[in-house]
Each structure stands twice: as structure tokens, then as C-alpha cells.
Amino acid sequence: MKIRVLGCHGAELANQKTCGFQINTSVLMDAGTIASVLNLSEQSQIRHILISHIHLDHTKGLASFSENLQAEASGTPVTLIGLESVLNALKNHLFNNQLWPDFTSIPNRENPVFRMQSLSKGEVLTVGDLEISTYAVNHTVPSSGFIIREKNSALLYSGDTHRTEDIWKAAAKEPHLKAALIEVSFPDALIDLAKESKHLTPALFYKEFSKIGLPNLPVYAYHMKPRYLQQIKKELEALALQNLTLLKDGMCFEL
């Protein structure tokens, strides 16, 4: 499984983009960044997009992407995949013909730009060579993480979360887990803000990661709020975790 980081931050700055991860060629995990990195031909190869929750740093790329795809007239809808509550929220708050046109019925209902496929907890959806499962996590709006499998490797993606349980339990049972992408948003001094906004700090990140019970598992930190990046980096380094990488936009890695 190849992962390309289109963006990995919890907000934008001049050189930092919001969350979007390309898996192999045709799958995206979150859609905070799409069209500002991928050219038209790369965008037209995207066929499935996993949506963790509706916050703009995970969905705003859908706006330009939908316009670009409509112009491409590819003829096959792109499938948006997530919890039913997440997809309903997208429909009600983004594709509502107010904030953005309803691209689930444009250019027409039979063959729209987007179709939606809900996934319930623990259900396995096969997308090409990938198997995808979703687990609700603890955030301020309906939100989930994902476990994605391909042959003998599996990847965990936490989505935006504060302290949670189910996804770590599922990860612990995953026979071929090769890596975890786990959010960390604020430095430890802002623990109150992290609790309020339901995110993690480096100390909480460590506690949550430890619940998987695989201390040597490669773990990738993402979702840093750019203005706190240097402090978060220092605090993550102090954790002295064997296989911790702070993700950067543009990175690619393979499992």
C-alpha cells in the first residue's frame, strides 16, 4: 500500500496544507487537500474518498474537486465513504445548494459527480484491492477513524479524536497492522483546549497509542495546528518512541 501525503495539518499556513492522504492511485482518505496538489489527470483517477468527519480541514478540497470533475465529465460517480451520520452531515451542511451546489445530483441524479456509501461500525467494504473498516471516535461532531487492509498489511488512521477506545481495540486484533496515523493537534500546555475541542496533545497521543499494545509499531503523527508545530515537534521527540515520524506534506511511504 502506497501512501502519499497531500496535506497533514489541522489548519493552513503558507507552506502547510490540511488533511488529505492518497492511497495507491484511486483512493483518498480525507479531503482537506486535493486540487491544490493533484493535477487534473491525477484528480480524475480518484474514485473513492473516505471521509472521517465534516470539519473543513477534512472536506474543503471536495469543493474544487467537484467542479474539476464535472468539467472532466468522467461519467462515473466518485464514491464518498463514511459513517451514515457523517455523510448526512455532508449533504445537509456542504452539498446543500447553499454553501456549495449539491454534487450528489449534478449534472443529474442518475449519474452525479458524487455518490455516497455509508459504512457501519466494523463492517468491511472492499474497494479494489483494499478492505476498509470504520470505527467511531471521540470528537465534537460525528467522526470516525479507519483501518485499511491490503494483502498482508494494514494501516490505522485515527481521524480527529480525543481519548477513545474502539479503534485501538480493533487495531490490537489486526493481524497485519503495519502503521498507525494518529492525530496530535496542540502542545501539552493547551490540554484544556484539546479537551474542549476533542483533540490530542503529545502526552495524550502517547497514552492513546499505547492502548494498541505494540510499542514498536511505526506511528505517524499528523493534524498539528501549524502555529504550534515547533512545540509539538519538541514534545513528540521527548516521548522517545522508537518508530515515530512527524508527517510532512508531500511525504510518501509504503507499507
Residues that bind Zn ion (CB under 5 A): 10, 55, 57, 160
Q: How many CB atoms lie within 10 A of CB 122?
A: 11
Residues 34, 136 contacting (CB under 8 angstroms): no
CB of 226 to Zn ion, least distance (A): 12
Nearer to Zn ion by Cβ, of 160 and 174: the residue is: 160
Nearer to Zn ion by Cβ, of 82 and 112: the residue is: 82
Q: Which residues pair with 13 in a beta bridge?
A: 16
Nearer to Zn ion by Cβ, of 55 and 149: the residue is: 55
CB of 9 to Zn ion, least distance (A): 9
Q: Which residues pair with 136 in a beta bridge?
A: 144
Return d(Cα 43, Cα 57) in angstroms, integer: 18
CB of 214 to Zn ion, least distance (A): 25
Q: How many CB atoms lie within 10 A of CB 153?
A: 14
CB of 2 to Zn ion, least distance (A): 23
Give the closest residue to 199 by CA, choosing from 135, 134, 140.
Answer: 140
Nearer to Zn ion by Cβ, of 44 and 197: the residue is: 197
Return d(Cα 107, Cα 67) in angstroms, integer: 11
